[in-house]
Amino acid sequence: MMDITSLPALVLGNMIKNREISVVEATKAQLDAIKQREPFYHSYITVMEEEALSQATKVQKRIDAGELRKSALAGVPMAVKDNICTKGVRTTCASKMLHNFEPSYDATVIERLKQAGVIILGKTNMDEFAMGSTTEKSAFGASKNPWNISHVPGGSSGGSASVVAGEEAFFALGTDTGGSIRQPAGYCGIIGLKPTYGTVSRYGLIAYASSLDQIGPMGRNVSDCTAVLEVIAGHDEKDSTSIHRKELDFRKALIDDVKGMRIGVPKGYLDGELDDEIKDRLYSAVKIFRQKGAIVEEFDLEMIDYAVPAYYVIACAEASSNLSRFDGVKYGYRTPNYENLQELYEKSRSEGFGSEVKRRIMMGTLVLSESYYDAYYRKALKVRSLIKQNFKKAFENVDLILGPISPRTAPELGEKTQGTLQSYRSDIYTVSVNLAGLPAISFPCGRDKKGLPIGLQLIGKEFGEKDLIRAAYSFEQAVGYERPTTLREGIDIVNSQETQMHPNNKSQD
């Protein structure tokens, strides 16, 4: 039988509908590929082999009974980032703290995907509690970039990006708090879509920073991501921050036409730390958009320099509160040695959390403390509302904003864990989007000298997903999709070393 794992999700969905392949066959093929590739990519924390196969049988029955005719993704196997709750399947947030945590309920997005007949293969690796941009902060060991396994896949949704690029799933869910969908998608050469805040329910997403978190699709093409978005988007009464949106028919925007679209490139994004190779690709993208009839112009977007500090103050503040519930009392990790309640708290949290998580909890605790609240947290909120206003002003003149995702391509494993400040600063192009609650899509645009993918992003106005989808889809028609070299040439077994998936295998720093 042919290797179906490289197919786009919608193509597989269609084959299943046309009885060219059964759901069980497709699921088995994908599980086989996982077994073969996982030793090299190390992108899953949990593979749900049995559950996936039993789901596959059930979904096939539903399809045979004539249900799911309207579901384009029925029977398609996918992966879920391990900070999204799955009933009865451990959900770890890549932390020792939750190494044994089995949620008693499904997140709303999981309910919706199951309803649509999607097969969940497993839970993907990530930076612990989504804090990081390399997936090296996972308590289960780092994941690898399918383009070059000595490089990171990015993060925090690095496992999801890696399984999609490495063809260990047809698509995946990621979460984006400060770029955690877009950056790994860019590093791995796939599409990542971060919806407008409030579009996708956060119920069941283990919160990092509640006012910034948003779940979104990661896929090998724009159409797949759009189809997934249609399944997961929509108001949820269990999430008070979810929005009643009309026009969730995103696939109507899959049009190869950008004539007259106004695209702005912020000048501030072009100087400073941006790698020349990425700048070149950005200009080539500008050229392609112009050739297709879009109007592309540079403009000034203010407050860029303040986005990263404001982001870290707000995200850490919320995280320090959100992660307080992991106290060793009810579930998750509890220290074996304690004399009293205080010690139970201190030791469980000191032993259960990794260093980056502890660093952010401490920063968040500081900025919320009575004596620093005004100086940091309140000020960050002001910056946030200014950033929002500036975007609003910008969108009076442009339909979309085009820019890089990160100053450079995927770093080597182990490289980035030193010098935290620099790694925080590399979030410069992504975090303002979360602060403003805007939608953005990242897409591949060629590769650098090392052969690593270069990703770019388009930022839309609030609820502007259709513009994003249309522009990214048009661009994709011009440049196509590239499979990772490791898949094309066969995984180089000699040069890779296996990593044990174990919670005690902590990240380097």
Partner 1 sequence: MKRYEVVIGLEVHVELSTKTKMFCFCSTEFGGEPNTQCCPVCTGMPGSLPVINKQAVEYAIAAGLALNCDITQQCRFDRKNYFYPDLPKAYQISQLYQPIGRNGGITIDTELGKKTIGIHEIHMEEDAGKLTHIEDGNYTLVDYNRCGIPLIEIVSEPDMHSAKEAIAYLEKLKQILKYLGVSDCKMQEGSLRADINLSVREVGAKELGTRTEMKNMNSFKAIARAIEGEKKRQIALLEKGEPVIRETRRWDDERNASFAMRSKEDARDYRYFPEPDLPPLIISDEWIDDIRNRQPELGDEKMLRFEKEFGIPAYDAKIITSDKYLAQFFEETVAICGRPKEVSNWLMVEVMRLLKEEDIEAEEISFTPVQLAKLIEMIEAGKINRTVAKEVFEHVFKENVDPDEYVIEHGLSMVSDDGVLQSIIEKVIAENRQSVEDYRNGKTKAFGYLVGQTMKETKGKADPKMVNQMIKKILDQ
Q: Is the dihedral of CA 163, 201, 364, 269 positive or negative?
A: positive
In the complex, what is the shortest distance from the CB of residue 161 to partner 1, in angstroms, rounded to a whole number?
Answer: 22
- Taking CB under 8 A as the criterion, the residue among 370, 374, 396, 489 binding partner 1 is 370
User: Which is catalytic among the residues 22, 156, 223, 320?
Assistant: 156
319 counts as binding partner 1 under rule CB under 8 A: no
Residue 380 corresponds to which amino acid?
Answer: A
Closest to 13 measured CA to CA, from 250, 224, 231, 248: 224
- Taking CB under 8 A as the criterion, the residue among 321, 355, 423, 477 binding partner 1 is 321
In the complex, what is the shortest distance from the CB of residue 384 to partner 1, in angstroms, rounded to a whole number?
Answer: 12
**Start-to-end Cα distance in the chain:** 45
Active site residue 160: no
Give the nearer residue to partner 1 in terms of CB position, either 210 or 485: 210
202 counts as binding partner 1 under rule CB under 8 A: yes
User: Which is catalytic among the residues 22, 143, 160, 180?
Assistant: 180
Tokens for 479, please give them. 């440049």
Residue 422 corresponds to which amino acid?
Answer: Q
In the complex, what is the shortest distance from the CB of residue 227 to partner 1, in angstroms, rounded to a whole number?
Answer: 25
- Taking CB under 8 A as the criterion, the residue among 338, 345, 424, 463 binding partner 1 is 345
In the complex, what is the shortest distance from the CB of residue 369 to partner 1, in angstroms, rounded to a whole number?
Answer: 5
Tokens for 222, please give them. 């724009």
In the complex, what is the shortest distance from the CB of residue 373 to partner 1, in angstroms, rounded to a whole number?
Answer: 8
240 counts as binding partner 1 under rule CB under 8 A: yes
The whole-angstrom separation of Cα 499 and Cα 202 is 32
Q: Is the dihedral of CA 79, 416, 183, 314 positive or negative?
A: positive
Tokens for 161, please give them. 């990006």
- Taking CB under 8 A as the criterion, the residue among 341, 362, 375, 478 binding partner 1 is 341
Give the nearer residue to partner 1 in terms of CB position, either 203 or 250: 203
DSSP secondary structure, 82-139, as one string: TTB-BTTB---TT-GGGTT---SS--HHHHHHHHTTPEEEEEE--SGGG--SSSTT-T
Q: Is 151 left (phi over 0), alpha (psi -120 to 50) or beta?
A: beta
Q: Which of residues 255-294 bind partner 1 (CB under 8 A)?
A: none
Give the nearer residue to partner 1 in terms of CB position, either 357 or 410: 357
In the complex, what is the shortest distance from the CB of residue 295 to partner 1, in angstroms, rounded to a whole number?
Answer: 36
Per-residue DSSP letter, 368: H
478 counts as binding partner 1 under rule CB under 8 A: no
The whole-angstrom separation of Cα 371 and Cα 79 is 44
Cis geometry, peptide bond prior to residue 369 (ω within 30 degrees of 0)? no
Pairing relationship of beta strands 77-81 and 171-175 according to DSSP bridges: parallel
Contact status, residue 485 vs residue 447, Cβ threshold 8 Å: no
By CB under 8 A, how many residues form the interface with partner 1? 43
Q: Which of residues 416-475 bind partner 1 (CB under 8 A)?
A: none
User: Which is catalytic among the residues 22, 43, 71, 81?
Assistant: 81
Q: Which of residues 394-423 bind partner 1 (CB under 8 A)?
A: none
Give the nearer residue to partner 1 in terms of CB position, either 75 or 352: 352
Give the nearer residue to partner 1 in terms of CB position, either 103 or 179: 103
Give the nearer residue to partner 1 in terms of CB position, either 11 or 386: 386
The whole-angstrom separation of Cα 434 and Cα 213 is 8
- Report long-range pairs for 491-500 (Cβ below 8 Å, ≥24 apart): 491/37, 491/40, 491/149, 492/149, 493/40, 495/149, 495/150, 496/39, 496/40, 496/144, 496/149, 498/39, 499/42, 499/141, 499/142, 500/141
324 counts as binding partner 1 under rule CB under 8 A: yes
- Taking CB under 8 A as the criterion, the residue among 204, 217, 354, 404 binding partner 1 is 204
Active site residue 156: yes
In the complex, what is the shortest distance from the CB of residue 341 to partner 1, in angstroms, rounded to a whole number?
Answer: 7
- Taking CB under 8 A as the criterion, the residue among 209, 231, 308, 445 binding partner 1 is 209
119 counts as binding partner 1 under rule CB under 8 A: no
211 counts as binding partner 1 under rule CB under 8 A: yes
Active site residue 348: no
Three state DSSP letters for 480-500: CCCCCHHHHHCCCCCCCCCCC
Closest to 133 measured CA to CA, from 431, 436, 444, 402: 431
Q: Which of residues 88-117 bind partner 1 (CB under 8 A)?
A: 91, 93, 98, 101, 103-105, 107
Place of tokens 């295998």: 505
203 counts as binding partner 1 under rule CB under 8 A: yes
329 counts as binding partner 1 under rule CB under 8 A: yes
Q: Which residues are tagged catalytic?
A: 81, 156, 180
Chain contacts with partner 1 (rule: CB under 8 A): 84-85, 91, 93, 98, 101, 103-105, 107, 202-207, 209-211, 237-241, 317-318, 320-321, 324-327, 329-331, 341, 345, 365, 368-370, 373, 377
